[in-house]
Structures are given as C-alpha cells and as structure tokens.
Amino acid sequence: MNILSGYIVKEVLKGSAIAIILLLTLFNLFTFSDELKDLGKGNYGIKEIFLYLAFTSPRVFYELIPSAALLGSLFVVGSMANNREIVAMRAAGASIFWVIKSVMQAGAIIVIIALLVGEFIAPDAERKARILKTTAQNNEIVMHSKSGLWLKEGNQFINVRKIPRKGELADIYIYEVDGHNHLFAVKKIDNATFSENNLWKMTGVIKSEIAASQILSSSFPTQAWNTSIDPDLLNIVVVDSENMSLYDLFMYIDFLKRNDQKTQSFELAFWSRLINPFITFVMLMISIPFVVGVQRGMSTGGRMMIGGIIGMTFNIFDKIAGYVGLVYGYDPMIMAVLPSTIVFLSALYAVKKTVAAS
C-alpha cells in the first residue's frame, strides 16, 4: 500500500504543479496585457513590467494554490479512475478512505509549500512590486526609512512622516537647498490634502528662512502646494494586508485595537490568510466524488469543468461572505471560516453518498 500511496501522492503533486504553472502563466498574461496600458508612463517600460510580474508572482502563486490543487487532483485522479486504476486499487483491498488519505498527504505537502511562499516570500516581493511600479511611473527618487518617506523634487527634499490615508499627509518637512547644496529654507506642515484641482492644500505651515546672520520665521494657516507628487506615489507606504505576513497582520491589528481604531478589514484578511492554505484540503475533498464511485464514467474534461465551476463558485461565495461581514459588522473569523466549512461539509456528504452507492 505504501507504494500505491506514494504513487498517488506523486501524481497529485505533478498534476497540481502543471495546473499552477498554467494558471500562473494565464494570470500573468492578463496582467501583462493590463500593464501595457501604463507603458511609457514615466520610466515604466517593458523591463519594469516584467520585473513587476516577477515580484507579484509569489502572491498570485499563493492565491492560486487551492484552485491548482483542485484541478490537478481532478485531472490526475480522474485519469486513474478512467483507466480503472482506482478500481484495481480497490480490488487489491484499498478503500475509498485510503484513496482520500493519499490525496490529503499530497495536500499536506502543497499546504507547506503555500505557507512558506505566502509568509516568507510573497509579502516582501509584493512590497518591492509596489515600489518598483509607483516610483517608475512617477519619476521620483523615493526612500522609505524609520523617519518616514523621503522624496526629492527639484531642489527640495521632502520628508513625510505620517500618511493617514490616500490623498492625505501629515507631519511634513520640506528642506530647500540652493545651487551649492546649502540649506536656505525649511517648511513644517501639519497636514496636506490632495484637492480636486490637482493641488495639495497645506494647513499649519511654518516656514523658516535661513540667512547668513539670522533665521526668519513665518506662519500660514493654509497654503497651496504646487507639486508634481502624485497621491499614488504614496501608496508604497500605505498599510496593505497583501504585503503583510500573518505575524505582521496580527501585530498591526493589536496596534489598531490599542489605539481604538477599526480592525475589521485587517481581521478578515488575517483569518482569510490563516485558513487559505487549508482551503487546499477543501478543494481536494471536492475532487473525490468526481473521481470515484458512481462518477467514474464521466470524462476527465467533464470532471474538470464541473470542478472548475465549483471552485469559482466557492471563490465568489468566499468574497461575498467577507464583504457582507464587513458591511454588517459580523465576526471576521466566522465570515472567513464559514464558506470553507460549508463546502467541506458538503464534500464530506458527497463522499459519504459515493461510498454508500459503491
């Protein structure tokens, strides 16, 4: 039995690997086509597009793992069923539950790979992709350090220490230098908001002009800031669950709670990320009724089409449940776990019926 179990594990892994390569290639082709619309914007060229695709691929890989496991299992184990290999295994004494156990062993290996990619590779790569795309399109020199975001525009060095939300900045310092790189003016701005006429409106402005013998200080309640800085450029430092690991998400949620801020969207992202690798087991369980028992007369193409429809329906249901939970304030953990639990129980019921009918 160990030889047969190893054979099933190897074949499921092989089928899943082929499926993930095909899905990732297809997804990147669509992304490449979409990115071509921004070709030539700033310094965003073909080289940058390919680098962007390379950096975003780990996140896409992580998200596609459950679907790849489903399609790979349907194709490989379905082919075994069509070739009567499953029948031969059962005639040799292997039960349906033994087949399920072997498929789940392959799933465990896939889950480990998904966790490694999702936690240690994807978040950092996603941050690099965001920085690459945004800075290339905006032609700005950007550095993100412990003292905030630094940008260079002409003879000005701009330090942004807080970004409450997109289109809004806080705690800003602007250092102006002359042609000899001597500092001659410093501005401290409390807040800056991007207005509809493509200008930044500054409030709480204090300007200090540095002369040879004195420093002249002046203040302005409001002032227009005519700068080429695009709000999208600042997206590289806006907190996003896509470029955070589970540990980072957990710590950020704790930080928000301690500061009495809303955490629902990040909690939903945390629980969704936590259970996402285990959705692989749900997808593999879905494949079982289509490859054993009364369904063995169905073609492999038919199995994959039905399984693909089920997988897409699950993804849609999962997204809807998450958004409904955010809108109505339901517990994020429940809304993240509910779709996969329902589908898993449905798959178990289908397997039970298959066993009873065979």
Which of 228, 263, 297 is a domain's end point?
228
Kindly state whether residues 250 and 196 are assigned to the same domain: no
Kindly state whether residues 290 and 348 are assigned to the same domain: yes
The per-residue pLDDT for 299 is 67
C-alpha distances in angstroms, 71 versus 29, 92, 220?
Answer: 20, 27, 63
Kindly state whether residues 15 and 124 are assigned to the same domain: yes
pLDDT < 70 regions, the chain: 1, 138-148, 165-166, 196-198, 228, 230-240, 259, 291-301, 303, 307, 357-358
Judge whether 55 lies within some domain. Answer: yes
18: nearest Cα among 57, 103, 75, 101: 75
The per-residue pLDDT for 106 is 93
Angle between helix 279-287 and helix 96-120 axes, rounded to 10 deg: 150
Which run of H or E residues covers position 220? strand 215-225
Query: How does 170-204 read in b/e, with b if 16+ C-beta sit within 10 Å?
Result: bbbbbbbeeeeeeeebbbebebbbbeeeeebebeb
C-alpha distances in angstroms, 150 versus 79, 100, 211, 277?
Answer: 57, 55, 25, 37
The per-residue pLDDT for 294 is 45
Kindly state whether residues 220 and 171 are assigned to the same domain: yes
Number of Cβ within a 10 Å radius of residue 93: 8
Kindly state whether residues 147 and 219 are assigned to the same domain: yes
Which of 228, 256, 280 is a domain's end point?
228
Kindly state whether residues 154 and 212 are assigned to the same domain: yes
Kindly state whether residues 264 and 350 are assigned to the same domain: yes
Q: Which domain holds residue 190?
A: 141-228
Specify the number of domains making up the chain. 2
Judge whether 234 lies within some domain. Answer: no
Kindly state whether residues 190 and 266 are assigned to the same domain: no
Judge whether 90 lies within some domain. Answer: yes
Kindly report, residue by residue over 273-328, the tens digit of the pLDDT: 888 888 899 888 888 877 665 445 566 667 677 767 877 788 888 888 888 888 88
Kindly state whether residues 81 and 8 are assigned to the same domain: yes
Q: How far apart are CA 99 and CA 246, in angstroms?
A: 33
Q: Both tokens of residue 335? A: 């809304």
Q: Both tokens of residue 189? A: 């701005």
Kindly state whether residues 58 and 84 are assigned to the same domain: yes
Kindly state whether residues 348 and 216 are assigned to the same domain: no
Judge whether 135 lies within some domain. Answer: no
Judge whether 87 lies within some domain. Answer: yes
Which of 228, 249, 267 is a domain's end point?
228
The per-residue pLDDT for 293 is 52
CB 129 within 8 A of CB 55: yes
64: nearest Cα among 122, 6, 130: 122
